[in-house]
Amino acid sequence: MKRPIVGVIGNTFLAEGRFPSQRVGERNLRAVADVTGALPLMFAGSPDITDIDALLDAVDGVLLTGARANVHPTRFGTDPHPSYEPYDLERDALALTLVEACVERSVPLLGICRGFQEMSVAFGSTLHPEIREIPGRQNHRMPRLENGEIHPDPTVVFGDRHDVALAPGGVFARLFGRETIRVNSLHGQGVLEPGSRVIVEGVADDGTVEAICIKDAPGFALGVQWHAEYDPQTNPINKALFEAFGAAIAARKAAA
């Protein structure tokens, strides 16, 4: 049997500051290849290039990755501000529609960080543009040095930083076999008010939403705020997540 295919969304950027391009972090591709057993296939995060129906006819699952760019505030009723940049309007336009299409067609969908936020917004959630500005919340951004530069050691940047309490008996608690996990944290935006179909399955110790599923989704539709793609080859929590995604992908392909 041929390997399943997972579509991995691309992000818009300027190569050498001049050439419009699409890119995907390699850890996302390796997480799919190493843990789910599927073939990762990058697709452009642009509605002018990627036809959603054709994409979903060609893949067995979709991974919405994290990204530097934030979901544009107008997508959830907030005014944009330069301090919340950068944005990727093309990815917004594609991903928010793609989320709904995946759920409707039972295409397994896993959202990570920005992908988690896209899933949330697609089903009516609002976001806070900078979660650390809310009183009582911690800084969920990646660790930096005193001079403001990003910490040079990836094991520090992607190190586990806080606990997440999982809903007892929920999808994630059953998946991980426990009700508390510890995860990394590299994000600015965060869910403010969940939409009616967004079920909160995990919450950080400061109240930040960290794990969701979509109510009445006929297939796999899970989102996590942390960067599960960093180490699913060795981290038991992230491995279990990608293995479950892989099982859903394999089941859908077998049923096709």
Q: Of 67, 61, 58, 60, which Cα lies nearest the Cα of 27?
A: 67
Distance CA 61, CA 65 (A): 13
113 catalytically annotated:
yes
> Residue 9 in contact with residue 64, Cβ under 8 Å?
yes
Instruction: Please spell the DSSP secondary structure of 207-226, one letter per residue.
Output: S-EEEEEETT-SS-EEEESS
Q: What is the distance between the terminal CA atoms of the chain, rounded to a whole angstrom?
A: 12
Distance CA 251, CA 28 (A): 21
Burial of 93 (0-12, 13-18, 19+ CB in 10 A): middle
Residue of 72, 90, 102, 113 marked active site: 113
Residue of 72, 128, 140, 227 marked active site: 227
102 catalytically annotated:
no
72 catalytically annotated:
no
Catalytically active residues are 113, 227, 229
